[in-house]
């Protein structure tokens, strides 16, 4: 079992997005559902068979591209995101932060979406619309589908948030 959806939302995603100036329930739901499909809400943070790591299973190349191609031109945002990372560990192994620092990983996951020029988040998206955004902007490979996204949401998020 991974981390409870409500805990990820309340202690990781919402505070991270708030710190970044994003107060949008749709953004929160997109990141929560991304964590559900990518790592089963933290069931595993790194596996031998997967190249991505952390709650959002971000690949090291994506991590580097966000820094080099997006944050490098946004000094204030880069400073804010760097402030979420560990002081020394980030310098020793920046990619490890994706598995060990949940707020930093959430910030990078959000940036993986918003750095895309055509990314537009609807005000009240359906789970399927969130899945379409995830598939187009976060996980375009063919190993997981939008249907997988919707099913994982149903299994890990819909039930736990309805009970809350």
Partners of 53 in the β-ladder: 58
Contact 33, 69 (CB under 8 A): no
> Of the ranges 23-27, 42-46, 122-126, 151-155, which one carries the lowest mean pLDDT score?
42-46
Give residue-wise pLDDT tens across range 55-98: 999 999 999 999 999 999 999 999 999 999 988 888 888 888 99
Percent of residues, the chain, with pLDDT higher than 90: 79
Which residues, 6 or more positions from 43, have their beta carbon under 8 angstroms from its beta carbon? 1, 2
pLDDT in tens, 85-97: 988 888 888 888 9
Q: Which of 61, 29, 41, 42 is nearest to 134 (CA)?
A: 29
Q: What is the pLDDT of residue 48?
A: 63
- Residue 32: enclosing H or E segment and its boundaries? helix 25-39
Each domain of the chain, given as residue ranges in start order, spans 5-163
Kindly report the average pLDDT of the chain as a whole number. 91
pLDDT confidence bin for 132, thresholds 50/70/90: very high
């Amino acid at each position: 079992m991974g981390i409870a959806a409500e805990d990820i939302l309340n202690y990781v995603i919402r505070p991270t997005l708030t710190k970044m100036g994003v107060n949008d329930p749709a953004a929160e739901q997109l990141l929560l559902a991304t964590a559900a499909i990518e790592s089963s809400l933290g069931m595993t943070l790194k596996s031998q068979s997967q190249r991505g790591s952390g709650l959002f299973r971000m690949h090291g190349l994506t991590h580097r591209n966000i820094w080099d191609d997006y944050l490098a031109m946004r000094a204030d945002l880069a400073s804010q995101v760097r402030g979420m990372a560990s002081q020394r560990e980030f310098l020793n192994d920046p990619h490890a932060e994706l598995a060990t620092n949940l707020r930093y990983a959430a910030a990078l996951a959000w940036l993986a979406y918003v750095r895309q020029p055509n990314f537009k988040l609807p005000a009240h998206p359906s789970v399927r619309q969130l899945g379409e955004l995830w598939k187009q902007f976060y996980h375009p490979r063919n190993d997981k589908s939008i249907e997988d996204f919707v099913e994982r949401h149903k299994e890990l998020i819909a039930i736990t948030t309805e009970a809350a």
